[in-house]
Structure 1
Amino acid sequence: MSPTPASETPRELSPGLTVRGLDAPLRLRDFKLIAFDMDSTLINIECVDEIADAAGRKTEVAAITEAAMRGEITDYKESLRQRVALLKGVTEEQVAQVYRNRLRLNPGAAELVLACKAAGLKVLLVSGGFTYFADRLRDRLALDFARSNLLEIQHGVLTGRIVPQSWGDICDGAMKRETVLRTCSLIGCSPTQAIAMGDGANDLEMMSVVGLSVAYRAKPKVREQARVAIDMGGLDRLLELFSDEA
Protein backbone atom coordinates (compact mmCIF):
# COMPACT_ATOMS: atom_id res chain seq x y z
CA MET A 1 0.00 0.00 0.00
CA SER A 2 1.52 3.29 -1.09
CA PRO A 3 1.64 6.53 0.92
CA THR A 4 -1.66 8.35 1.01
CA PRO A 5 -2.18 10.58 -2.03
CA ALA A 6 -3.17 14.10 -1.00
CA SER A 7 -6.18 13.86 -3.32
CA GLU A 8 -7.81 11.05 -1.35
CA THR A 9 -10.71 12.37 0.69
CA PRO A 10 -10.71 11.39 4.36
CA ARG A 11 -13.74 9.43 5.52
CA GLU A 12 -14.89 9.32 9.14
CA LEU A 13 -15.76 5.76 10.15
CA SER A 14 -16.94 6.96 13.55
CA PRO A 15 -16.29 10.06 15.67
CA GLY A 16 -12.54 10.57 15.98
CA LEU A 17 -11.60 7.73 13.60
CA THR A 18 -10.79 8.76 10.03
CA VAL A 19 -9.49 6.71 7.10
CA ARG A 20 -8.17 7.54 3.64
CA GLY A 21 -8.26 5.12 0.74
CA LEU A 22 -9.18 2.09 2.85
CA ASP A 23 -12.05 -0.32 2.48
CA ALA A 24 -12.75 -1.49 6.02
CA PRO A 25 -13.03 -4.02 7.47
CA LEU A 26 -9.54 -5.39 7.01
CA ARG A 27 -8.15 -8.62 8.43
CA LEU A 28 -5.65 -8.22 11.26
CA ARG A 29 -4.12 -11.63 10.49
CA ASP A 30 -3.11 -10.36 7.06
CA PHE A 31 -0.48 -8.23 8.82
CA LYS A 32 2.69 -9.61 10.38
CA LEU A 33 4.23 -6.64 12.21
CA ILE A 34 3.07 -3.58 14.13
CA ALA A 35 5.59 -0.83 14.94
CA PHE A 36 4.88 1.72 17.65
CA ASP A 37 6.47 5.06 18.32
CA MET A 38 6.85 5.49 22.08
CA ASP A 39 6.55 9.08 23.34
CA SER A 40 3.01 10.49 23.02
CA THR A 41 1.96 7.36 21.11
CA LEU A 42 2.38 4.22 23.22
CA ILE A 43 2.83 6.35 26.35
CA ASN A 44 1.38 9.63 27.58
CA ILE A 45 4.52 11.78 27.87
CA GLU A 46 7.57 13.04 26.02
CA CYS A 47 10.24 11.53 28.28
CA VAL A 48 12.94 14.06 27.38
CA ASP A 49 10.66 16.91 28.46
CA GLU A 50 9.87 15.27 31.78
CA ILE A 51 13.55 14.54 32.51
CA ALA A 52 14.29 18.18 31.68
CA ASP A 53 11.77 19.20 34.32
CA ALA A 54 14.11 17.74 36.93
CA ALA A 55 16.82 20.09 35.63
CA GLY A 56 14.50 23.10 35.65
CA ARG A 57 14.65 23.26 31.83
CA LYS A 58 11.34 21.76 30.75
CA THR A 59 10.06 24.87 28.98
CA GLU A 60 13.21 25.20 26.89
CA VAL A 61 13.40 21.50 26.01
CA ALA A 62 9.67 21.10 25.36
CA ALA A 63 9.76 23.96 22.84
CA ILE A 64 12.45 22.15 20.84
CA THR A 65 10.53 18.87 21.09
CA GLU A 66 7.32 20.45 19.84
CA ALA A 67 9.07 22.06 16.88
CA ALA A 68 10.77 18.76 15.99
CA MET A 69 7.51 16.79 16.20
CA ARG A 70 5.70 19.32 14.02
CA GLY A 71 8.43 18.97 11.40
CA GLU A 72 9.71 22.52 11.84
CA ILE A 73 13.22 21.26 12.67
CA THR A 74 14.64 19.21 9.83
CA ASP A 75 17.72 17.88 11.64
CA TYR A 76 16.22 15.60 14.28
CA LYS A 77 19.59 14.30 15.41
CA GLU A 78 20.90 17.76 16.19
CA SER A 79 17.68 18.74 17.95
CA LEU A 80 17.96 15.65 20.17
CA ARG A 81 21.62 16.34 20.94
CA GLN A 82 20.67 19.88 21.98
CA ARG A 83 17.93 18.62 24.27
CA VAL A 84 20.03 15.85 25.81
CA ALA A 85 22.85 18.33 26.49
CA LEU A 86 20.41 20.28 28.65
CA LEU A 87 19.82 17.15 30.76
CA LYS A 88 23.39 17.14 32.06
CA GLY A 89 23.46 16.72 35.82
CA VAL A 90 20.10 14.98 36.18
CA THR A 91 20.49 11.91 38.37
CA GLU A 92 19.55 8.38 37.38
CA GLU A 93 17.14 8.37 40.32
CA GLN A 94 15.35 11.38 38.87
CA VAL A 95 15.03 9.51 35.57
CA ALA A 96 13.61 6.56 37.50
CA GLN A 97 11.06 8.87 39.12
CA VAL A 98 9.86 9.95 35.68
CA TYR A 99 9.24 6.29 34.83
CA ARG A 100 7.53 5.52 38.14
CA ASN A 101 5.51 8.66 38.67
CA ARG A 102 4.81 10.25 35.28
CA LEU A 103 4.91 7.62 32.57
CA ARG A 104 1.60 5.92 31.82
CA LEU A 105 0.50 3.74 28.93
CA ASN A 106 -1.89 5.58 26.68
CA PRO A 107 -5.47 4.23 26.79
CA GLY A 108 -5.90 1.05 24.80
CA ALA A 109 -2.15 0.41 24.43
CA ALA A 110 -2.05 -2.89 26.31
CA GLU A 111 -5.29 -4.05 24.68
CA LEU A 112 -4.01 -3.33 21.16
CA VAL A 113 -0.69 -5.07 21.81
CA LEU A 114 -2.49 -8.15 23.16
CA ALA A 115 -4.86 -8.25 20.19
CA CYS A 116 -1.99 -7.99 17.72
CA LYS A 117 0.01 -10.70 19.45
CA ALA A 118 -3.07 -12.95 19.55
CA ALA A 119 -3.44 -12.45 15.79
CA GLY A 120 0.16 -13.54 15.26
CA LEU A 121 1.81 -10.15 14.71
CA LYS A 122 5.27 -9.32 16.01
CA VAL A 123 5.47 -6.04 17.94
CA LEU A 124 8.25 -3.47 17.53
CA LEU A 125 8.82 -0.37 19.67
CA VAL A 126 11.02 2.07 17.74
CA SER A 127 11.67 5.40 19.38
CA GLY A 128 13.62 8.61 19.19
CA GLY A 129 13.43 8.47 22.98
CA PHE A 130 15.54 6.50 25.40
CA THR A 131 16.36 2.89 26.21
CA TYR A 132 15.74 3.53 29.93
CA PHE A 133 12.03 3.68 29.13
CA ALA A 134 11.76 1.64 25.93
CA ASP A 135 13.48 -1.44 27.35
CA ARG A 136 11.25 -1.39 30.44
CA LEU A 137 8.16 -1.11 28.26
CA ARG A 138 9.43 -3.94 26.06
CA ASP A 139 9.66 -6.20 29.11
CA ARG A 140 6.42 -4.94 30.67
CA LEU A 141 4.34 -5.56 27.54
CA ALA A 142 6.31 -8.58 26.26
CA LEU A 143 7.18 -6.80 23.01
CA ASP A 144 9.32 -8.63 20.48
CA PHE A 145 11.74 -5.82 19.54
CA ALA A 146 12.76 -2.38 20.81
CA ARG A 147 15.18 0.23 19.50
CA SER A 148 15.87 3.65 20.99
CA ASN A 149 18.66 5.96 22.13
CA LEU A 150 21.05 5.30 24.99
CA LEU A 151 21.68 8.11 27.48
CA GLU A 152 25.20 8.19 28.87
CA ILE A 153 25.21 7.86 32.66
CA GLN A 154 28.38 8.15 34.71
CA HIS A 155 28.43 7.78 38.48
CA GLY A 156 24.63 7.87 38.54
CA VAL A 157 24.38 11.19 36.67
CA LEU A 158 23.49 12.05 33.05
CA THR A 159 26.44 13.45 31.14
CA GLY A 160 24.34 15.21 28.52
CA ARG A 161 25.49 12.84 25.77
CA ILE A 162 24.05 9.93 23.79
CA VAL A 163 26.04 6.71 23.49
CA PRO A 164 26.43 5.22 19.97
CA GLN A 165 25.14 1.65 19.65
CA SER A 166 25.95 -1.18 17.24
CA TRP A 167 23.30 -0.01 14.75
CA GLY A 168 24.26 3.69 14.79
CA ASP A 169 24.26 6.87 16.84
CA ILE A 170 20.69 8.20 17.02
CA CYS A 171 17.32 6.68 16.17
CA ASP A 172 15.85 9.40 13.98
CA GLY A 173 13.22 9.17 11.24
CA ALA A 174 15.58 7.49 8.77
CA MET A 175 16.63 4.91 11.37
CA LYS A 176 13.00 4.24 12.29
CA ARG A 177 12.33 3.48 8.62
CA GLU A 178 15.41 1.25 8.37
CA THR A 179 14.47 -0.55 11.58
CA VAL A 180 10.98 -1.33 10.32
CA LEU A 181 12.32 -2.59 6.99
CA ARG A 182 15.01 -4.71 8.66
CA THR A 183 12.49 -6.17 11.09
CA CYS A 184 10.20 -7.09 8.19
CA SER A 185 13.14 -8.83 6.54
CA LEU A 186 14.05 -10.59 9.79
CA ILE A 187 10.58 -12.05 10.30
CA GLY A 188 10.07 -12.75 6.60
CA CYS A 189 7.26 -10.40 5.67
CA SER A 190 6.71 -7.63 3.15
CA PRO A 191 6.56 -4.01 4.40
CA THR A 192 3.01 -3.98 3.03
CA GLN A 193 2.19 -6.46 5.81
CA ALA A 194 3.33 -3.99 8.48
CA ILE A 195 1.46 -1.36 10.50
CA ALA A 196 3.20 1.75 11.88
CA MET A 197 1.70 4.05 14.51
CA GLY A 198 3.10 7.45 15.43
CA ASP A 199 2.35 11.09 16.17
CA GLY A 200 5.36 13.16 15.12
CA ALA A 201 7.25 14.17 12.00
CA ASN A 202 10.06 11.72 12.77
CA ASP A 203 7.52 8.90 12.30
CA LEU A 204 6.68 9.84 8.72
CA GLU A 205 9.52 7.89 7.11
CA MET A 206 8.53 4.58 8.69
CA MET A 207 4.87 5.30 8.03
CA SER A 208 5.62 5.84 4.33
CA VAL A 209 6.95 2.31 3.75
CA VAL A 210 4.31 0.18 5.49
CA GLY A 211 0.97 -1.14 4.40
CA LEU A 212 -1.04 0.68 7.06
CA SER A 213 0.06 4.01 8.56
CA VAL A 214 -1.75 5.22 11.68
CA ALA A 215 -1.62 8.71 13.21
CA TYR A 216 -2.49 8.73 16.92
CA ARG A 217 -3.53 12.16 18.23
CA ALA A 218 -0.89 13.38 15.85
CA LYS A 219 0.62 16.61 14.59
CA PRO A 220 -1.21 18.01 11.54
CA LYS A 221 1.55 17.06 9.10
CA VAL A 222 1.40 13.45 10.25
CA ARG A 223 -2.38 13.26 10.36
CA GLU A 224 -2.60 14.51 6.78
CA GLN A 225 -0.31 11.77 5.45
CA ALA A 226 -1.58 8.76 7.39
CA ARG A 227 -4.04 6.19 6.12
CA VAL A 228 -5.75 6.17 9.51
CA ALA A 229 -6.12 8.97 12.06
CA ILE A 230 -7.25 8.33 15.63
CA ASP A 231 -8.15 11.66 17.23
CA MET A 232 -10.38 10.47 20.06
CA GLY A 233 -10.25 7.49 22.37
CA GLY A 234 -7.48 4.96 22.80
CA LEU A 235 -4.97 3.16 20.61
CA ASP A 236 -7.23 0.12 20.51
CA ARG A 237 -9.66 2.04 18.31
CA LEU A 238 -7.49 0.75 15.49
CA LEU A 239 -9.23 -2.58 16.00
CA GLU A 240 -12.47 -1.04 14.67
CA LEU A 241 -10.93 -1.35 11.19
CA PHE A 242 -10.69 -5.11 11.39
CA SER A 243 -13.37 -7.74 10.97
CA ASP A 244 -14.27 -9.98 13.91
CA GLU A 245 -13.12 -13.12 12.11
CA ALA A 246 -9.62 -11.62 11.65
Structure 2
Amino acid sequence: MRIYISVDMEGVTGLVDADDVQPGGRDYERGRQMMAEDVNAAVRGAVAAGATEVTVNDAHGPMRNLLPEALHPAVRLIRGKPKQMGMLEGLEPTHDAVLCVGYHARAGALGVLSHSFMGHEIEDMWLDGRPVGEIGLAQATAAALGVPVAVLTGDDGACAEATEWDASVTTVAVKCARDRFAADLRPADEARTAIEEAVASRLSAPLTAPPAASGPSTLTVRWQSASVASTLLGIPGVTSTDTRTVEAQGELPGLYRLFGVWMRVAASLTNQPPYC
Protein backbone atom coordinates (compact mmCIF):
# COMPACT_ATOMS: atom_id res chain seq x y z
CA MET A 1 0.00 0.00 0.00
CA ARG A 2 1.44 3.36 -1.11
CA ILE A 3 0.46 6.32 1.07
CA TYR A 4 0.98 10.00 0.28
CA ILE A 5 1.04 12.64 3.04
CA SER A 6 0.73 16.35 2.32
CA VAL A 7 1.68 18.26 5.45
CA ASP A 8 0.91 21.89 6.14
CA MET A 9 1.75 23.68 9.39
CA GLU A 10 -1.08 25.96 10.53
CA GLY A 11 -3.24 23.00 11.56
CA VAL A 12 -0.51 21.24 13.54
CA THR A 13 -1.05 20.38 17.21
CA GLY A 14 -0.39 23.32 19.54
CA LEU A 15 0.28 26.03 16.93
CA VAL A 16 -1.82 29.21 16.81
CA ASP A 17 0.26 32.17 15.63
CA ALA A 18 2.45 33.33 12.76
CA ASP A 19 5.45 33.18 15.09
CA ASP A 20 4.78 29.44 15.41
CA VAL A 21 4.89 28.72 11.67
CA GLN A 22 7.13 31.26 9.96
CA PRO A 23 10.92 30.89 9.73
CA GLY A 24 12.44 33.48 12.03
CA GLY A 25 9.41 33.50 14.32
CA ARG A 26 10.24 33.21 17.98
CA ASP A 27 8.53 29.80 18.27
CA TYR A 28 9.18 28.48 14.76
CA GLU A 29 11.80 25.92 15.81
CA ARG A 30 9.37 24.48 18.32
CA GLY A 31 6.65 24.58 15.66
CA ARG A 32 8.63 22.51 13.19
CA GLN A 33 9.23 19.90 15.91
CA MET A 34 5.49 19.77 16.58
CA MET A 35 4.93 19.42 12.83
CA ALA A 36 7.26 16.43 12.67
CA GLU A 37 5.50 14.74 15.59
CA ASP A 38 2.08 15.03 13.93
CA VAL A 39 3.56 13.59 10.73
CA ASN A 40 5.18 10.73 12.63
CA ALA A 41 1.87 9.88 14.28
CA ALA A 42 0.24 9.63 10.85
CA VAL A 43 3.13 7.53 9.53
CA ARG A 44 2.89 5.13 12.47
CA GLY A 45 -0.79 4.67 11.74
CA ALA A 46 -0.11 4.06 8.05
CA VAL A 47 2.60 1.50 8.78
CA ALA A 48 0.34 -0.26 11.28
CA ALA A 49 -2.30 -0.54 8.55
CA GLY A 50 0.18 -2.16 6.17
CA ALA A 51 1.71 0.72 4.23
CA THR A 52 4.83 -0.38 2.38
CA GLU A 53 5.73 3.10 1.10
CA VAL A 54 5.04 6.48 2.70
CA THR A 55 5.83 9.69 0.81
CA VAL A 56 5.67 12.95 2.77
CA ASN A 57 5.52 16.30 0.96
CA ASP A 58 6.53 19.31 3.06
CA ALA A 59 3.79 21.64 1.82
CA HIS A 60 4.11 24.70 4.06
CA GLY A 61 5.64 28.05 3.15
CA PRO A 62 9.29 27.54 2.17
CA MET A 63 8.63 23.78 2.12
CA ARG A 64 11.84 23.19 4.11
CA ASN A 65 10.25 22.93 7.54
CA LEU A 66 10.61 19.21 8.18
CA LEU A 67 14.06 17.94 9.10
CA PRO A 68 14.63 14.49 7.58
CA GLU A 69 16.32 13.21 10.73
CA ALA A 70 13.23 14.10 12.80
CA LEU A 71 10.95 11.83 10.76
CA HIS A 72 9.94 8.18 11.04
CA PRO A 73 12.48 5.99 9.20
CA ALA A 74 9.82 4.77 6.75
CA VAL A 75 9.37 8.26 5.25
CA ARG A 76 10.49 9.36 1.79
CA LEU A 77 10.50 13.17 2.10
CA ILE A 78 9.88 15.69 -0.70
CA ARG A 79 11.42 18.95 0.48
CA GLY A 80 12.08 22.40 -0.98
CA LYS A 81 10.67 24.52 -3.79
CA PRO A 82 9.67 25.38 -6.44
CA LYS A 83 7.43 22.40 -7.10
CA GLN A 84 5.23 22.22 -10.16
CA MET A 85 2.39 20.70 -8.11
CA GLY A 86 3.11 22.58 -4.90
CA MET A 87 1.26 21.06 -1.94
CA LEU A 88 0.57 17.90 -3.98
CA GLU A 89 4.02 17.40 -5.49
CA GLY A 90 4.70 13.71 -6.00
CA LEU A 91 1.09 12.53 -5.80
CA GLU A 92 0.52 9.80 -8.38
CA PRO A 93 -2.49 7.71 -9.49
CA THR A 94 -0.70 4.66 -8.06
CA HIS A 95 -1.00 5.98 -4.50
CA ASP A 96 -3.73 4.28 -2.49
CA ALA A 97 -4.64 7.24 -0.28
CA VAL A 98 -3.80 10.82 0.62
CA LEU A 99 -3.42 12.01 4.21
CA CYS A 100 -3.62 15.77 4.80
CA VAL A 101 -1.82 16.62 8.05
CA GLY A 102 -1.85 20.06 9.68
CA TYR A 103 -4.34 21.65 7.27
CA HIS A 104 -6.33 24.82 7.95
CA ALA A 105 -9.60 26.47 6.92
CA ARG A 106 -9.93 28.64 3.83
CA ALA A 107 -9.77 32.42 3.59
CA GLY A 108 -12.72 34.11 5.26
CA ALA A 109 -13.49 31.20 7.58
CA LEU A 110 -13.05 31.61 11.33
CA GLY A 111 -10.30 29.07 11.79
CA VAL A 112 -6.81 29.06 13.27
CA LEU A 113 -4.49 30.91 10.85
CA SER A 114 -7.16 30.58 8.15
CA HIS A 115 -6.20 31.66 4.63
CA SER A 116 -6.01 30.28 1.11
CA PHE A 117 -2.47 29.63 -0.10
CA MET A 118 -1.12 33.21 0.07
CA GLY A 119 -2.29 34.85 3.27
CA HIS A 120 -4.50 37.87 2.62
CA GLU A 121 -3.26 38.24 -0.97
CA ILE A 122 -6.00 35.79 -2.03
CA GLU A 123 -9.36 36.99 -0.76
CA ASP A 124 -11.60 34.24 -2.15
CA MET A 125 -11.50 31.22 -4.41
CA TRP A 126 -14.16 29.13 -6.12
CA LEU A 127 -14.01 25.80 -7.93
CA ASP A 128 -16.96 25.38 -10.28
CA GLY A 129 -18.75 28.10 -8.33
CA ARG A 130 -18.18 26.45 -4.96
CA PRO A 131 -16.10 28.27 -2.31
CA VAL A 132 -12.78 26.46 -2.03
CA GLY A 133 -9.45 26.66 -0.24
CA GLU A 134 -6.48 24.38 0.10
CA ILE A 135 -8.60 21.52 1.42
CA GLY A 136 -11.18 21.45 -1.35
CA LEU A 137 -8.66 21.96 -4.13
CA ALA A 138 -6.49 19.15 -2.78
CA GLN A 139 -9.46 16.80 -2.53
CA ALA A 140 -10.69 17.60 -6.04
CA THR A 141 -7.21 17.21 -7.54
CA ALA A 142 -6.60 13.92 -5.76
CA ALA A 143 -10.00 12.68 -6.93
CA ALA A 144 -9.07 13.59 -10.51
CA LEU A 145 -6.03 11.34 -10.12
CA GLY A 146 -8.22 8.58 -8.70
CA VAL A 147 -6.81 8.80 -5.16
CA PRO A 148 -9.05 9.35 -2.12
CA VAL A 149 -8.25 11.77 0.68
CA ALA A 150 -8.60 9.34 3.57
CA VAL A 151 -7.73 11.42 6.65
CA LEU A 152 -7.31 15.11 7.41
CA THR A 153 -5.98 16.67 10.62
CA GLY A 154 -6.22 20.30 11.70
CA ASP A 155 -8.43 22.56 13.76
CA ASP A 156 -12.19 22.07 14.01
CA GLY A 157 -12.77 24.56 11.19
CA ALA A 158 -10.53 22.63 8.82
CA CYS A 159 -12.22 19.38 9.78
CA ALA A 160 -15.68 20.81 9.13
CA GLU A 161 -14.54 22.15 5.76
CA ALA A 162 -13.15 18.75 4.77
CA THR A 163 -16.38 17.01 5.74
CA GLU A 164 -18.46 19.51 3.77
CA TRP A 165 -16.28 18.88 0.73
CA ASP A 166 -16.15 15.10 1.05
CA ALA A 167 -18.12 13.35 3.80
CA SER A 168 -16.00 10.20 3.46
CA VAL A 169 -12.87 11.92 4.84
CA THR A 170 -11.99 10.91 8.40
CA THR A 171 -11.03 14.02 10.36
CA VAL A 172 -9.01 14.57 13.53
CA ALA A 173 -9.42 17.93 15.28
CA VAL A 174 -6.25 18.67 17.24
CA LYS A 175 -7.54 22.08 18.41
CA CYS A 176 -10.71 24.15 18.41
CA ALA A 177 -10.55 27.70 17.13
CA ARG A 178 -11.41 30.46 19.57
CA ASP A 179 -10.41 33.05 16.98
CA ARG A 180 -7.95 33.33 14.09
CA PHE A 181 -4.93 33.36 16.40
CA ALA A 182 -6.33 31.56 19.45
CA ALA A 183 -7.43 28.00 20.10
CA ASP A 184 -8.45 25.50 22.74
CA LEU A 185 -5.61 23.01 22.37
CA ARG A 186 -5.98 19.26 22.64
CA PRO A 187 -3.16 17.77 24.77
CA ALA A 188 -0.31 16.87 22.44
CA ASP A 189 -0.04 13.19 23.39
CA GLU A 190 -3.80 12.78 23.09
CA ALA A 191 -3.88 14.50 19.69
CA ARG A 192 -1.10 12.34 18.28
CA THR A 193 -2.67 9.16 19.57
CA ALA A 194 -5.90 10.22 17.88
CA ILE A 195 -4.06 10.85 14.60
CA GLU A 196 -2.30 7.50 14.71
CA GLU A 197 -5.46 5.57 15.54
CA ALA A 198 -7.60 7.37 12.94
CA VAL A 199 -5.06 6.72 10.18
CA ALA A 200 -4.63 3.05 11.12
CA SER A 201 -8.39 2.51 11.26
CA ARG A 202 -9.21 4.34 8.01
CA LEU A 203 -6.42 2.71 5.99
CA SER A 204 -7.44 -0.73 7.24
CA ALA A 205 -10.88 -0.23 5.66
CA PRO A 206 -11.64 -0.32 1.92
CA LEU A 207 -10.46 2.80 0.07
CA THR A 208 -12.47 4.10 -2.87
CA ALA A 209 -11.81 7.31 -4.74
CA PRO A 210 -14.78 9.69 -4.95
CA PRO A 211 -16.01 10.51 -8.43
CA ALA A 212 -13.91 13.11 -10.21
CA ALA A 213 -15.48 16.09 -11.95
CA SER A 214 -16.70 15.27 -15.44
CA GLY A 215 -15.21 17.59 -18.02
CA PRO A 216 -13.22 20.76 -17.41
CA SER A 217 -13.48 22.69 -14.14
CA THR A 218 -13.47 26.45 -13.62
CA LEU A 219 -11.15 27.97 -11.02
CA THR A 220 -11.90 31.55 -9.98
CA VAL A 221 -9.66 33.62 -7.71
CA ARG A 222 -10.27 37.08 -6.26
CA TRP A 223 -6.98 38.80 -5.43
CA GLN A 224 -6.36 41.60 -2.98
CA SER A 225 -4.40 43.40 -5.69
CA ALA A 226 -5.78 44.49 -9.05
CA SER A 227 -2.18 44.48 -10.30
CA VAL A 228 -1.97 40.71 -9.85
CA ALA A 229 -5.24 40.13 -11.70
CA SER A 230 -4.18 42.44 -14.54
CA THR A 231 -0.83 40.71 -14.95
CA LEU A 232 -2.38 37.24 -14.99
CA LEU A 233 -4.45 38.21 -18.01
CA GLY A 234 -1.24 37.83 -20.01
CA ILE A 235 -1.48 34.05 -19.54
CA PRO A 236 -3.46 32.39 -22.37
CA GLY A 237 -6.87 31.19 -21.24
CA VAL A 238 -7.11 33.49 -18.21
CA THR A 239 -10.09 35.87 -18.23
CA SER A 240 -11.37 38.46 -15.76
CA THR A 241 -14.78 38.90 -14.17
CA ASP A 242 -13.83 42.20 -12.51
CA THR A 243 -10.66 44.18 -11.85
CA ARG A 244 -9.45 41.81 -9.09
CA THR A 245 -10.97 38.46 -10.11
CA VAL A 246 -9.64 36.04 -12.72
CA GLU A 247 -10.65 32.58 -13.82
CA ALA A 248 -9.62 29.78 -16.11
CA GLN A 249 -11.02 26.46 -17.24
CA GLY A 250 -9.20 23.19 -17.49
CA GLU A 251 -8.94 19.61 -16.38
CA LEU A 252 -7.59 18.78 -12.95
CA PRO A 253 -4.77 18.22 -12.08
CA GLY A 254 -3.55 20.53 -14.85
CA LEU A 255 -5.66 23.37 -13.46
CA TYR A 256 -3.98 22.93 -10.07
CA ARG A 257 -0.58 23.24 -11.72
CA LEU A 258 -1.72 26.40 -13.56
CA PHE A 259 -2.83 27.90 -10.26
CA GLY A 260 0.70 27.35 -8.99
CA VAL A 261 1.94 29.55 -11.84
CA TRP A 262 -0.57 32.23 -10.79
CA MET A 263 0.82 32.17 -7.26
CA ARG A 264 4.39 32.55 -8.49
CA VAL A 265 3.35 35.56 -10.56
CA ALA A 266 1.54 37.04 -7.57
CA ALA A 267 4.55 36.47 -5.31
CA SER A 268 6.78 38.34 -7.75
CA LEU A 269 4.46 41.36 -7.66
CA THR A 270 3.72 41.58 -3.95
CA ASN A 271 5.58 41.59 -0.68
CA GLN A 272 2.81 41.01 1.84
CA PRO A 273 3.26 39.14 5.11
CA PRO A 274 0.98 36.12 5.19
CA TYR A 275 -1.13 36.77 8.28
CA CYS A 276 -2.06 40.46 8.22
TM-score w.r.t. the length of structure 2 is 0.41
Indicate the structure whose relative CO is greater, using CA pairs within 8 Å and at least 6 residues apart: 1
Whichever structure has more strand as a proportion of its residues is 2
Whichever structure has more helix as a proportion of its residues is 1
